[in-house]
Amino acid sequence: QGGGSAVIDMENMDDTSGSSFEDMGEMHQRMKEEEEEEAEGEAGAGEEEDGEFLGMKGLRGQLGRQVADQMWQVGKRQASRAFSLYANIDILRPYFDVEPVQVRARLLESMIPVKMINFPQKIAGELYGPLMLVFTLVAILLHGMKTSDTIIREGTLMGTAIGTCFGYWLGVSSFMYFLAYLCNAQITMVQMLSLLGYGLFGHCVTLFVTYNIHFHSLFYIFWLVVGGLSTLRMVAVLVSRTVGHTQRLILCGTLAALHMLFLLYLHFAYHKVVEGILDTLEGPNMPPFQRVARDVPVVSNAVLNTTAKAIALTL
Amino acid sequence: FPGLADVSISQDIPVEGEITVPVGSHSPDEDYSTLDEPVKDTIMRDLKAVGKKFVHVMYPRKSSALLRDWDLWGPLVLCVSLALMLQGGSADSKDDGGPQFAEVFVLIWFGAVVITLNSKLLGGTISFFQSLCVLGYCVMPLTVAMLVCRLVLLAGAGTVSFVIRLLVVGAMFGWSTLASTAFLADSQPPNRKALVVYPIFLFYFVISWMILTFTPQ
């Protein structure tokens, strides 16, 4: 019964194949291993087993096995092709095709409002610059939170910074893209992401300066000038791509408001606060996500008292 | 081979790895032989490989030994020790003011993954795990800086100690960035090196910032 395993043994014709799909894979693997063993000439015992194995299954079993084997191969090939298609990061590669000079030029351009709003301005659909700006903003925010000793309960510094910056970039971009779709503006999602991302350059510069030099009047000047310039640029580009007064007003009003308010929020939420403001804004009822600045002992005492009372009530 | 003319490897640090492409029939034999050896041999071989890579990071030169045989043991050890040392560094013991273990761990690995994806998207020729390996090993100077900072803080927390810590952390940050740039920037097209170096700079800057602002309880 031993000898060449490739020869189909016609002696036993009983069809006990039962070749299920799972068994096919096993059999395929075993056959591959056996081929390798044959190549080295080591597997005397293996060959004998192989010969017996095929001999028992018979002709019809052999055919069924081959068909199932082919199906297995085809399935495996399709799965690996689908994986390499969708898990391929090359989809994003064209958006990262930039030179350093281009990035620098775009950074500076983001602060210069365009004058011509009568024909559509070109927006580069690039994601490297905006992504790096968001990460830089995260780093600056961390620096600001550390130097002002902000305590974040029920959250972490890193998580808050990353969540805030990425949330703003992705969330506001999506919202503006949706509004642009409603107002019939000519802009794609990648262009919107790119535009808003480059607009964060003004935020980075302002926060970097004002987190280190603590003059409130300086912050307001920076907010108006730097924030205003980058907002004007984004607004001008959007206006050039929209038709109709009402639509232009809606889009640009929303973008300007969100952009400027975000800068205001970043400065006041994650930085040393003047004593009076915290009192008037938050008062005795603290929301569950609390930001307690260290230099306002009155409010933190009130908070401690309220929490102690609440705990005493529940016990 | 014109491309190999640049690679200068010093004689006393042997290069690891196989030059020949292993043929399929050899692999069962090799598995057999490393399966049979005593466990001590396997562990010592891996430890020696990790140690050689540490030496390569300390003296960054144009050598491809770090890249050819990548492993993630070194980065794991460094990351865990850095995260343990940075844990709970807040002045108030009842608040989560300082970075927690999970935060540092996630930051290092997530940051390394982002930098790797970025360098691949910019047209780099290095593979995913090779890049992770290099970035992880180059955290070593910063771990050393963390040790030094902790020792300095044992002596006191005044202005002098802050200046010392600032200098040490700054020097180690520069070393880390230079070491990783020496390995990674070569795999990029020449005019885009700045685009790859900037995220690495930011990554090590954030880690250095966490080390510098660490205050023990």
Nearest CA in chain B to A158: B103
Cβ B121–A157 below 8 Å, yes or no?
Answer: no
CA distance B34 to B25: 16
Q: What is the pLDDT along chain A (315 residues), one digit of tens a residue?
A: 444 445 555 555 444 455 555 566 666 677 777 666 665 554 444 444 444 455 555 667 788 888 989 999 888 888 888 777 666 777 788 888 888 889 999 999 999 888 888 888 888 888 999 999 999 999 898 888 776 666 555 456 777 888 899 999 999 999 999 999 999 998 999 999 999 999 999 999 999 998 888 788 898 999 999 999 999 999 999 999 999 999 999 999 999 999 999 999 988 877 654 333 444 455 555 444 555 555 545 555 555 665 656 566 655
Residues in chain A closer than 8 A to B25 (CB atoms): 36, 39-40
Q: Judging by DSSP bridges, how do beta strands A291-292 and A151-152 pair with one another?
A: antiparallel
Cα-to-chain-centroid distance, residue A57: 54
The phi-psi region of residue A3 (left if phi > 0; otherwise alpha if psi is between -120 and 50; otherwise beta) is: left
SS (H, E, C) B14-75: CCCCCCCCCCCCHHHHHHHHHHHCCHHHHHHHHHHHHHHHHHHHHCCCCCCHHHHCCCCHHH
Cβ B118–A128 below 8 Å, yes or no?
Answer: yes
Cβ B202–A146 below 8 Å, yes or no?
Answer: no
Distance from CA of A270 to the nearest CA of B (A): 14
Q: What is the mean pLDDT of residues B94-119?
A: 78
- A179 contacts: CB under 8 Å, gap ≥ 6: A250, A251, A254
Check whether B105 has a pLDDT greater than 60.
yes
Mean pLDDT (chain B, rounded): 79
Query: So what's the pLDDT on residue A48?
Result: 44
Distance from CA of B194 to the nearest CA of A (A): 7
Query: So what's the pLDDT on residue A154?
Result: 46
Does B190 contact A at CB distance below 8 Å? no
- B135 contacts: CB under 8 Å, gap ≥ 6: B75, B112, B115, B116, B180, B184, B200, B203
Are the C-beta atoms of B212 and B165 separated by less than 8 Å? yes
ipTM of the complex: 0.75
Nearest CA in chain A to B122: A96
SS3 A151: strand
Query: So what's the pLDDT on residue A222?
Result: 92
Tell me the pLDDT tens digit for each residue of B133-175: 889 989 999 999 999 998 888 887 788 888 999 999 999 999 9
Cβ A143–B25 below 8 Å, yes or no?
Answer: no
Cα-to-chain-centroid distance, residue A246: 33
Query: So what's the pLDDT on residue A51?
Result: 45
Q: What are the residue ranges of helices labelled H in B59-100?
A: 65-68, 73-85
Distance from CA of A200 to the nearest CA of B (A): 17
Residues in chain B closer than 8 A to A158 (CB atoms): 99, 103, 106-107
Nearest to B157 by CA among B206, B84, B212: B212
Does B215 contact A at CB distance below 8 Å? no
What secondary structure letter does DSSP report for A169? I
Does B16 contact A at CB distance below 8 Å? no
